């Protein structure tokens, strides 16, 4: 996750992780303990102060990057690319063109097939060496 966050250069997203916790919840008339996952986001303010925040308070692009970071971190950490050499990225509009281009370049090393659905202005940031499908 750190690598992808660093690559995308979201300076105000300091750290993101999931923690498995046990909670007592009601099921009918009885209480049971269930495992749930809590999302932790360490956000950095403009003044440099770091604080834990919820995903609800993040900007649209920060939320999108958070989801993307988790998906890619799992894909890379568990070496899913060895069994499923295909990645499809869609709806990246909240991320700027430069970051999309860096992400595509980074993922190119880990997957045999990378399909990215982009707006024309975002696709323009990618080098011409990438094959493009402009009409179906």
Encoding tokens for residue 3? 């690598």
For residue range 88-120, list pLDDT tens digits in order.
999 888 888 998 999 899 888 888 899 999 999
Query: In CATH, which superfamily holds the domain spanning 2-123?
Result: P-loop containing nucleotide triphosphate hydrolases (3.40.50.300)
pTM, whole model, 2 decimals?
0.73
Q: Exposed, middle or buried: residue 69 (CB in 10 Å: 0-12, 13-18, 19+)?
A: buried
- List pLDDT tens digits, range 119-133: 999 999 999 999 999
């Amino acid at each position: 996750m750190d690598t992808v966050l660093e690559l995308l250069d979201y300076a105000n997203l300091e750290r993101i992780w999931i923690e498995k916790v046990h909670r007592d919840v009601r099921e009918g008339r009885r209480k049971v303990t269930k495992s749930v996952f809590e999302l932790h986001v360490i956000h950095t303010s403009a003044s440099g102060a770091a604080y834990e925040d919820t995903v609800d308070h993040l900007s649209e692009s920060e939320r999108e990057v958070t989801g993307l970071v988790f998906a890619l971190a799992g894909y890379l950490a568990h070496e899913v690319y060895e069994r499923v050499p295909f990645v499809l990225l869609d709806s990246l509009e909240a991320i700027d063109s430069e970051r999309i281009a860096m992400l595509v370049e980074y993922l190119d090393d880990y997957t045999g097939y990378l399909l990215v659905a982009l707006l024309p202005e975002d696709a323009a940031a990618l080098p011409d060496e990438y094959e493009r499908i402009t009409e179906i």
